[in-house]
Structure formats: structure tokens, C-alpha cells
Amino acid sequence: MLLLISPDLYNEVFEIIDSCTFAAKSISPTMWQAFELIHATFKAGAELYLEDMLPALDNFVQYGAAHLVQTPQYLEAMFGMVQDMFADEKVGGVDRICACKLAEGIMLSLRGHADQYVVAFVSYSRPICHRCMLNIHRSKWQCGP
């Protein structure tokens, strides 16, 4: 269960992790432990903070690509976060955009090592794109030329 912690505190913690990993341009063993905590926090109900987590997660993908390849459970955790964002009904558009950005980072930074996730990433976005296209089509039809 997610503890009632100020959203500002989450934001600050994720910002510190982002700054440390970006400045180092590498992911230390201590930061991989921080990743495990980020993932546990996400799974415990903090998925609505993905927007705040994204810069740090992107650094884990970009600067820790080799370790992600060697540690499949971390790569699976990243994939699971994207998957959860599309499966959760309470998640809004901004959060799904963040999930798409995370998926994009995984595909670009782990070329050849994340191919098994590409079809799933595309399939998650397809229903949403389809709904958007239907809404656009309906609004044109209702509003006229």
C-alpha cells in the first residue's frame, strides 16, 4: 500500500535520482538499488507519478542499457511499467504519453535486445489511436466541413 507522502517529496526524490544518474552518465550499483525502490513504489500505487519518474527512468535506460540487457528482470520491470500504464483505467493521457516515451527509450537504447516488446508496445497504443481517430471522424461529421 502506498504511504501518504507529499507529491512534492516524490518529485524531489525522483529529481535527485535523475540529477545523479545524468551527471554520472552511468548507473552505479547503488542507483540500481534505487531503481528497485522506484519500481516497488510504482507497483505499490505510485503509477500516477510516472511523469515525475520518467527523467530518472530514461537515464536508467540510456546510461544503464548494458546492465538492463544483462539483467532481464530489470528490463521486464521497465516493460511492466509501460504495460501497467495502458492497463490501468485511472491513468490519463499524460501518463500514457510518459509510458510511450519510456517505451520509445527502451526501443532506441536497447536495439536488438528489446525486440520481444515491440509488438506489445504497438498493440497497447493501437486501441487508443483508434478511439482518437473515431472521435476526430465523429466531430468532423457533427461539426460540418
Per residue in 90-120, pLDDT (tens digit) is: 778 888 889 999 999 999 999 999 999 998 8
Percent of the chain with pLDDT strictly greater than 90: 56
pLDDT for the residue 131? 66
User: Do residues 53 and 34 lie in contact, with contact meaning Cβ atoms separated by under 8 Å?
Assistant: no
Per residue in 73-92, pLDDT (tens digit) is: 999 999 999 999 888 877 78
Distance (Å, whole) CA 96 – CA 98: 5
User: Do residues 47 and 84 lie in contact, with contact meaning Cβ atoms separated by under 8 Å?
Assistant: yes
Region 20-40: mean pLDDT is 96
Distance (Å, whole) CA 95 – CA 54: 10
User: Do residues 37 and 62 lie in contact, with contact meaning Cβ atoms separated by under 8 Å?
Assistant: no
* 62 or 2, higher pLDDT: 62
Per residue in 44-71, pLDDT (tens digit) is: 888 888 899 999 999 999 999 999 999 9
Find how far residue 40's CA is from the centre of its chain.
14
